[in-house]
Amino acid sequence: MEIQEISKKNLISGAFLAFEGIDGSGKSTQIQMLAAKLRERGVRFYTTMEPTDSPIGSLIHQIMTGRIKADNRVIAALFAADRLDHLLNEVDGIAAKIADGISVISDRYYFSSYAYHSVDMPMEWVVQANEQSSAILKPTATIFIDVDPDIALERISRNRFHKELFEKKSMLVRVREKYLEAFERLKDSENIIMIDGSQTPQRISEEIWQRVCEYFVLK
């Protein structure tokens, strides 16, 4: 379907796409490639990520890099708070952008919390901690780039000098399992698009485009 046609039936609000996957799955690569396509076609959009660069997000970054110590429950709660600020912040909150018709693409959203934090606490707790966010804004689609943890680790170690807290193989294996569990659990209330992330960046980008181009509205 052409974007032009969709723009007629979806003029009131922007789309919200959340990219998900284990570290090194290729999310930021794909967001850049999607952004280039949207730019070419004159779509109004905004790209963003979690953790954010807000004060709460920077606290999270300091914990993730080991500069500050915190209990896992505290970390999970900080991510939930960072997400609410990401949605509601008066300066650049994404809920207002979407209401204004600007599409938003986020590198990670609440499924990251469901997957990463349910490794060491009940998923139910994590889902409840993020209930406000899911009530305010559910993604138009969550795009899960699925890669084998070995491939992801290989990509990460090729390109990064230090490994952060979660970038260990056993952790990536468990996080991937938890993602799949969360998708199964919420499949009736969420629109989840599974993408095979072991293909070339070009092929993945084409597949994502085929699945999502209908959501965007022209300027």
Question: Using CB under 6 A as the criterion, which residues of the chain lie in contact with ligand TYD when the complex forms?
Answer: 23, 28, 50-51, 64, 79, 107-108, 112-113, 116, 164, 166
166: partner contacted, choices ligand TYD, ligand ADP, none (Cβ within 5-8 A by kind): ligand TYD
Name which position in 60, 87, 102, 204 contacts ligand ADP (CB under 6 A).
204
CB of 169 to ligand ADP, least distance (A): 15
57: partner contacted, choices ligand TYD, ligand ADP, none (Cβ within 5-8 A by kind): none
Determine the residue type at 142.
T
Q: How many residues does the chain have?
A: 219
62: partner contacted, choices ligand TYD, ligand ADP, none (Cβ within 5-8 A by kind): none
26: partner contacted, choices ligand ADP, ligand TYD, none (Cβ within 5-8 A by kind): ligand ADP
Dist CA 127 CA 150 (whole Å): 28
Binding mask 13-32 for ligand ADP (x = CB under 6 A): --------x-xxxxxxx---
C-alpha distances in Å from residue 116, one per residue of 3, 126, 172, 203: 35, 10, 9, 27
Q: Residue 184: left (phi > 0), alpha (psi -120 to 50), or beta?
A: alpha
Give the residue nearest to ligand ADP (CB).
26
Tell me whether residue 108 or residue 174 sits nearer to ligand TYD (CB atom): 108
Three-state SS sequence of 70-106: CCHHHHHHHHHHHHHHHHHCCCCCHHHHHHCCCEEEE
CB of 115 to ligand TYD, least distance (A): 8
Burial letters 25-64, b for 16+ CB under 10 A, else e: bbbeebbebbeebbeeeebebebbbbbbebebbebbeebb
Binding residues among 158-197 for ligand ADP as defined by CB under 6 A: 159
Q: Which residues bind ligand ADP (CB under 6 A)?
A: 21, 23-29, 155, 159, 200-201, 204
